[in-house]
Amino acid sequence: MWDQRCKIALSGVGFSKVTRSAEIPLAAHALEAVKGAVEDSGLQMSDIDGLATYPELPATGHAMVDGVTIVSVNCMMAMLKLPNLQWHVQVETVNIGGAVQQAVNALLAGVCNYAVVWRAMHNPKGTYQNLPGTHAHGATQFTAPYGFGGPGQGMAVAYTRWLETHNRSREKMATLAVTQRKHTQMNPHAYFYGQPLTREDYLNSRMVAYPFCLYDCDIPVQGAVAVVLTTADRARDLKPRPAYLAGYGQRLKFEVTGRIGSLSSYMEGGRSSSSLTWERSGFSPKDVDVAQVYDGFSASVIYGLESYGFCKEGEALDFIQDGRIELDGDLPLNTFGGSLGTGRIHGLWHIIEGALQASGRAGERQVKDVNVSFVGASAPIVTGTTFIFVREPY
């Protein structure tokens, strides 16, 4: 077990308004979320001495404009003018979960005391994957000429491989989409709050990239979420009940850029990340009371549940049936609605929900008697990170 377990806690959380298109500059959304998280902790801006983010926009073919399409650490420093800032970082290889882990490391190292991590996401005007270049450079020279563009198809081919090698039917995924949308109705910050989804809606929706239909894909939105992380001792003196970090892990495998279609790379990424988390925390999948598993595309949940060890390979679509992932089921899943419910903000919202469930702060959607709360914060293949939060330090 990790000797640093439960020494860091997630304290305050903050949310911006989530809109379909960009009505105001993204920096304003990020600022709203960060101010919300600091206020939720009962802190002042002058207390904040660490900053971390992952600013990437996962759309292609759009200009990166700091403050408008991304919100970098520099942008946040310019807005907040923190008088006591001591540390900051912007990560690249492991998505927003990596930014949280770097903040944890900085807190453990004693180089800052109250770190803010945010994720701000822009929805560009026009086509999200703006691909039609006349020429295909780099890794795309082997994919773009065949009409492969954007992450959707890359994920879709792995899902087809999964469905046909395990002889399963995509119709069973309706349970995930419908259950998560049901959970979304208890999350007022979510994009699809107030808009339920039926099994028929899912089954009749248009195909995007088979086997993905419209409701297998999270909707691009503009919005931001943020958290305050601090040491456990400090967290206990703050306003909200802390969620203690019991362990974390990151994916340790990477395949050559441009290689697509490999289901095994999802599985290896998820196994490497989660095995560290299980080992460091001392828990195993059977100990988990509630789970958040990244769902930018629905099939990521399938790879997550299997590679993290919640069920066997090939069984995830069966595993999620019969009420198991409902709030009162054996493994309540994506209880805030997931990205399919909130809109595409990436994995920090999964981390936030994992912490809220552990600290008993999830309100109407609170799962009963949670102690061990698991988070898989991004697709295991490229950027996977995993976390466990607990209610009681041990």
Partner 1 sequence: MSDWSQVTRPIPVPNEWTKPFWDAAKRGVLALQRCQACGHFQHPPYATCVNCMAIDLAFEPVRGQGTIYTYTIMYHAGDRRFAPAVPYASIIVELDDAPGALLAGNLMEAPYTEAKVGRRVEVIFEPLNDDITLPQFRLASA
Binding site for partner 1 (CB under 8 A): 127-129, 131-150, 152-153, 156-158, 160-161, 164-165, 206-212, 255-263
In the complex, minimum distance from the CB of residue 131 to partner 1, in angstroms, rounded to a whole number: 4
Least Cβ distance, residue 130 to partner 1 (angstroms): 9
Contact 18/190 with Cβ under 8 angstroms?
A: yes
Query: In which residue are the tokens 């698991």 written?
Result: 374
Report whether 262 contacts 254 (CB < 8 A). Answer: no
C-alpha 216/C-alpha 295 separation (Å) is 9
**CA-based R_g, the chain, Å:** 20
Q: What are the strands of the beta sheet with 87-90, ordered from one edge? A: 87-90, 50-53, 114-121, 223-231, 8-15, 243-250, 385-390, 372-376, 290-293
Structure tokens at 351: 């981390």
Nearest to 344 by CA among 125, 58, 76: 58
Look at phi and psi of residue 242 and say left if phi exceeds 0, alpha if psi is from -120 to 50, else beta. Answer: beta
Nearer to partner 1, 159 or 389 (CB): 159
Which of residues 201 and 255 has its CB atom nearest to partner 1 in the complex? 255
Report the interhelical angle of 151-165 vs 263-281 (nearest 10°): 90
For the CB of residue 28, give the shortest distance to partner 1 in the complex, in Å.
29
Q: Which residues pair with 227 in a beta bridge?
A: 13, 117
Q: Shortest distance, CB of residue 184 to partner 1, whole angstroms?
A: 23
Given the complex with partner 1, which of 90 and 262 has the nearer CB atom? Answer: 262
Nearer to partner 1, 210 or 394 (CB): 210
Q: Which is nearer to partner 1, 166 or 324 (CB)?
A: 166
- What's the closest the beta carbon of residue 59 comes to partner 1, in angstroms? 11
Q: How far is the CB of 139 from partner 1 (least distance, A)?
A: 6
Residue 32 CB, nearest distance to partner 1 (Å)?
31
Nearest to 230 by CA among 95, 116, 374: 116
Closest contact distance (angstroms) between CB of 170 and partner 1 is 12
Query: What are the backbone angles phi and psi of residue 60, rounded to the nearest 5°?
Result: -115, 155
Instruction: Give, as one character, the DSSP assignment of residue 217.
Output: B
Interatomic CA distance for residues 359 and 362, integer angstroms:
8
Work out how close the CB of 145 gets to partner 1 at its nearest, in angstroms, rounded to a whole number: 5
Whichever of 332 and 380 has its CB closer to partner 1, that residue is 380
Q: Closer to partner 1 at the Cβ: 165 or 198?
A: 165
Query: What tokens does 52 get?
Result: 């971390």
SS3 state at 181: helix
- Buried/exposed 38-68: b ≥16 CB within 10 Å, e otherwise: bebbebeeebbbbbbbbbbbebbebeeebbb
Q: In the bound complex, what is the minimum distance in angstroms from residue 219's beta carbon to partner 1?
A: 14
170 vs 189, beta carbon nearer partner 1 = 170
| Amino acid, res. 27 | A
- Determine the length of the chain: 394
- What does each C-alpha distance from 119 to 15, 93, 147, 331, 349 come to in angstroms? 10, 15, 30, 27, 9
**Residue nearer to partner 1 on the CB measure, 84 or 140:** 140
